[in-house]
Amino acid sequence: MNDAKTGSDFPNRIGYDEALAMIAAVAARRRLPVETVPLARAAGRVLAEDVVAGVALPPFDNAAMDGFALRAADAERARTQGLRLVGDQFAGADLALQVAAGECARITTGAPMPAGADAVLIRENARVDGERVFATEAGGLRPGRHLRRAGEDVQAGDRVLVAGTRLGPAQLGLAAAVGRHDLPLYRRPTVAVFTTGDELCPPGQPLAPGRIYDSNRALLQTLLQAEGLEPVAWPVLPDRPGPMLAALRDAAFSFDVVITCGGVSAGDRDHLPALLREHGEIHFWRVRMKPGMPLLFAGLGEALLLGLPGNPVSVLATFLGPGRALLDGLQGLATPRRRLFARLATPFAKAHARLEFLRGRLESGADAVVQVRPDPADGSHRLRGAADADCLLVLGEGARDYAAGDVVEVVPLRGF
C-alpha cells in the first residue's frame, strides 16, 4: 500500500499476529547477551542454559514426620512389647545409626533414615517408657510409611530447568535445592521512555489552555516496572523533527529499546514514521488492531524502537501485546505467556474487522465460570475506564457479533 507521507517500502497495516511474529523474529536476532547472576537477583529473569541437577532430591532417604524410625515388620511387636531405642537422629549430620529387628531410633522430619529402618512411627502414636518405645497405634505402618526416598523428586543428572524459562519463586528454589548459587541469564533490556507532544504538561504544574497532563509517562513506566525493568524516562519530546531525532538518537546509543508514545499517526506533526524511514529501518508501521493501529516498530542505531500511539488505552494494548513480545523475545523467553480465556457476560457487536481490545471486569461465581464484562464505553482516550477495569479482552480479527457466553481471550491488567 502506498503512503503519501512516508512511501511504503516496509510492511504496512499488517495483521496483529503478523506483527507479533515479526517482533519475535527481530528480537530473536537481537537476543541480549548472557550474564551470570546470583539467585538473589534472578527473580523474573530468563534462564539462558539448562540447569542439570548435581545432586538428587532428596539427596538421601529421610523422615517425613517427627517420631521413631523402625522396621515396618516390627509394627505388631512395637504395639505389644515395645522397641528398644538405640539413638537419636536429628536433621543434620548423619550419625550412621543402625536399626535392627526389635529396635528403633528417635528421628525428626528431614533427618536421614538409619540403616535398616524402613518406616516412621509418628510421635503422636508412640509412648516412650525409659529405653522402650511403644506404638499406641500401629495400623498403617508399612514399608515406606512417612519416608521420603532419595531421588523421588529429582535424580542427579536430571535437567530440572530448561533454557528460556522465566524464573519465579519455585524455579529459583529448585535451582538452590540442587546447589546452584548463580545462574546464566539473559541480560535485562535497558529501556528509554519518551512521551511526545507540545500539549503535554508534567503533572504538578499549572495547566495552560489547550494542554493536558502527561499520563502516558506514568502509565508506561509502571508497565515496564511490572516487567521487572528500570525504565529511564526522558524529557517530553517537542513536536519538532530536529530535537526529536537528536534525542532519539542519543537514546538509541545507550539503550536496547526505545519506547515512544504519540506522534506516530497521520497528523501533520506526527514526525516519527518519516524520521525513522529516513534515519532508521522501519520493520512495520500500522497494525490491524483497535486501539493501537498506528503502532510502529523500527530499528534506530543500535536500538529497537517501538512507537506506541498516544492515546492512553492504545498504550496499554500495544504495550501488553507487542511491547511485551519484544521484551520477552530479547530476553530469550522460550515459552509464550499463558493465555487466559473467559466467557463474555454480555453480547458485543464488533463494528469493524480489526482485532479489538476492550476494557473489562472479570467475575467468577460459585459455578466456577469466569466471565468478563466488557466496558461499553470504548474510546482509546478514556483512561478512567481502564483504571476501573481489571483486564483487557481481545476480540479477534474479522467482524463478528459476539453472544453472551462466547469465549474470548483476556489480558489481566493487575497482578500480571
Ligand X SMILES: Nc1nc2c(c(=O)[nH]1)N[C@H]1C(S)=C(S)[C@@H](COP(=O)(O)OP(=O)(O)OC[C@H]3O[C@@H](n4cnc5c(N)ncnc54)[C@H](O)[C@@H]3O)O[C@H]1N2
Q: Are 320 and 150 in contact (CB under 8 A)?
A: no
Question: Using CB under 6 A, which residues numbered 376 to 395 contact ligand X?
Answer: 380-381
323 touches ligand X by CB under 6 A: no
Nearer to ligand MOO, 53 or 293 (CB): 293
Member of 125, 314, 318, 331 binding ligand X (CB under 6 A): 314
**Residue with Cβ nearer ligand X (188 or 350):** 350
Judged by beta carbon distances under 5 to 8 A according to partner kind, the member of ligand MOO, ligand X, none in contact with residue 373 is: none
Residues 272-301 that bind ligand X (CB under 6 A): 291, 293-294
Q: Please name the residues in contact with 226: beta carbons below 8 A apart, sequence gap of 6 or more.
A: 416
Which residue stretch of 83-91, 92-100, 263-271, 273-281 sits at the interface with ligand X (rule: CB under 6 A)?
263-271
CA torsion angle 236 239 242 246 (round to 10)? 20
- DSSP readout, 302-313? TEEEEEE-SSHH
Q: Counting Cβ atoms within 10 Å, is residue 212 exposed (0-12), middle (13-18) or buried (19+)? A: exposed
Among 58, 231, 291, 307, binds ligand MOO (CB under 6 A): 291
CB of 309 to ligand MOO, least distance (A): 4
Binding piece for ligand MOO, criterion CB under 6 A, among 45-53, 206-214, 253-261, 290-298: 290-298
Return the C-alpha cell found at 153.
Answer: 523428586
Q: Are 213 and 225 in contact (CB under 8 A)?
A: no
Residue with C-alpha cell 500511539? 309
Work out what residue 191 binds among ligand X, ligand MOO, none; the CB cut-off runs from 5 to 8 Å by kind. Answer: none
Which residues lie across from 89 on neighbouring strands?
Answer: 107
In the complex, least distance from residue 214 CB atom to ligand MOO, rounded to whole angstroms: 17
Distance, first Cα to last Cα, the chain? 37
Which residue's CB is nearer to ligand MOO, number 266 or number 369? 266
Answer yes or no: are the C-beta atoms of 309 and 272 closer than 8 Å.
no
Instruction: Compute the Cα dihedral for 23, 24, 30, 32 and give only its sign.
Output: positive
* Contacts of ligand MOO in 368-397 (CB under 6 A): 380
Nearest to 337 by CA among 4, 24, 14, 22: 24
Residue nearest to ligand MOO (CB): 291
Question: 309, 321, 323, 360: which one contacts ligand X (CB under 6 A)?
Answer: 309
CB of 289 to ligand MOO, least distance (A): 7
Q: How far is the CB of 264 from ligand MOO (least distance, A)?
A: 9
Distance of alpha carbon 45 from alpha carbon 22, whole angstroms: 23
Q: Which of 82, 262, 321, 332 binds ligand X (CB under 6 A)?
A: 262
Least distance CB 330 / ligand MOO (angstroms): 24
Strand order in the sheet with 232-233: 12-14, 281-287, 296-300, 303-308, 257-261, 191-195, 232-233
223 binds ligand X (CB under 6 A): no
d(CA 318, CA 312): 10
Contact call for residue 263 and ligand MOO (CB under 6 A) = no
> Of all residues in this chain, which one has the CB nearest to ligand X in the complex?
310
Query: What count of residues does the chain have?
Result: 416
Binding site for ligand X (CB under 6 A): 195, 197, 199-200, 212, 214-217, 261-267, 270, 291, 293-294, 309-312, 314, 380-381
Binding site for ligand MOO (CB under 6 A): 290-293, 309, 311, 314, 380
